[in-house]
Amino acid sequence: MFENLEIFGLAQARARHAAARQTQVAMNVANADTPGYRARDVVAFEEVFRTANAGQDPTRLPIRTMDAGGPESPNGNTVSLELEMVRSVQAQRDHSRALNVYRSAMNVLRTSLGR
């Protein structure tokens, strides 16, 4: 009965997406001085979720990256450390939100079971 609750799959997919975004931010920061490096970002979770097939397992949603854009420095690099800091905070908030959803769903289940 409780094996296939969508809220848990959705929370897991959201946390996985936030982790992937944090990884991409770390890669961008690591290459901030690399000539010609193009900053990348992860496609928004909402967009990926919206375009996924109905009934698709949310834990299997693809994580796609895209060019983050931004102005080029003289060496052709598009990494802005300020923007990467903002993206890092957004990823941390998304991950915290996913954990809070998971925690709240667990509390609802525990309450319904009388524990």
pLDDT at 53: 64
How does pLDDT run across 20-63, given as a tens digit for each residue?
999 999 999 999 999 999 999 999 988 888 877 666 666 677 78
pLDDT at 59: 66
Task: Look at residue 89 and tell me if it is in a domain.
Answer: yes
pLDDT at 42: 94
Number of domains in the chain: 1
Task: Name residues whose C-beta falls within 8 Å of residue 78's C-beta, 6 or more positions apart in sequence.
Answer: 37, 38, 39, 67, 68, 69, 70, 71, 72
Task: Look at residue 15 and tell me if it is in a domain.
Answer: yes
Task: Look at residue 76 and tell me if it is in a domain.
Answer: yes
Q: How far is CA 97 from the centre of its chain?
A: 11
- What residue type is 7 in one-letter code? I
- Strand, coil or helix: 54: coil
- Give CA–CA dist 84/76, Å, rounded: 17
pLDDT at 3 over 70: no
- What residue type is 14 in one-letter code? R
Task: Look at residue 46 and tell me if it is in a domain.
Answer: yes
pLDDT at 114 over 70: yes
Residue numbers of the domain that contains 109: 6-113
Task: Look at residue 66 and tell me if it is in a domain.
Answer: yes
The CA radius of gyration of the chain, in Å to the nearest whole number, is 18
Task: Look at residue 96 and tell me if it is in a domain.
Answer: yes
- Give CA–CA dist 35/53, Å, rounded: 39
Task: Look at residue 69 and tell me if it is in a domain.
Answer: yes
Task: Look at residue 1 and tell me if it is in a domain.
Answer: no
pLDDT at 58: 65
pLDDT at 2: 58
Angle between helices 81-113 and 6-30 (to 10 degrees): 160
How does pLDDT run across 47-104, given as a tens digit for each residue?
888 877 666 666 677 788 899 888 899 999 999 999 999 999 999 999 999 999 999 9
Cα dihedral sign for 95, 91, 86, 89? positive
pLDDT at 1 over 60: no
